[in-house]
């Protein structure tokens, strides 16, 4: 019998809305989020979904963010993804840590 596919999630942060309050980082039970190294136009260091492969889709971060800066949804292709949307046409994607490790191994 085919094994059920593990559910994976996309965690999107809308950078301009983030005010670096840290609430999402504090409540995430899986330590997916952390403060990034880049700031938005208001000077706030934007939260990044650094470990999207660990996200369980509970959406606590989305509910707690006072500025509606986080959106979590199930990944349509089964790959976890961390996305930081800086503007309509500028998006950064965080590769899952496992791929980063593979990339280091292949390099």
**Under the criterion CB under 6 A, does residue 94 sit at the interface with ligand SF4?**
no
Using the rule CB under 6 A, give the single segment among 11-19, 73-81, 91-99 that binds ligand SF4: 11-19
* Inter-residue contact 84 to 92 (CB < 8 Å): yes
Report the alpha-carbon distance of residue 36 to residue 39 in Å, rounded. Answer: 8
Q: Scan residues 51-90 and list those touching ligand SF4 (CB under 6 A).
A: 55-61, 65, 67, 69-70, 72
Residue 81 CB: number of other CB atoms within 10 A? 21
> Which CB, 6 or 106, lies closer to ligand SF4?
6
Q: Does 33 bind ligand SF4 (CB under 6 A)?
A: yes
DSSP at 14: E
Coil, strand or helix at 26:
helix
Greatest Cα-to-Cα distance within the chain, rounded to the nearest angstrom: 53
Q: Which residues bind ligand SF4 (CB under 6 A)?
A: 11, 13, 18-24, 28-30, 32-33, 47, 55-61, 65, 67, 69-70, 72
């Amino acid at each position: 019998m085919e094994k059920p596919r593990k559910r994976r999630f996309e965690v999107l942060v809308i950078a301009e809305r983030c005010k670096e309050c840290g609430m999402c980082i504090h409540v995430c039970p899986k330590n997916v989020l952390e403060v990034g190294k880049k700031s938005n136009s208001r000077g706030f260091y934007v939260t990044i979904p650094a470990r999207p492969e660990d996200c369980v889709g509970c959406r606590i971060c989305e509910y707690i963010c006072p500025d509606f800066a986080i959106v979590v949804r199930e990944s349509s292709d089964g790959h976890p993804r961390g996305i930081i949307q800086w503007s309509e046409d500028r998006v950064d994607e965080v590769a899952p840590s496992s791929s980063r490790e593979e990339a280091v191994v292949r390099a």
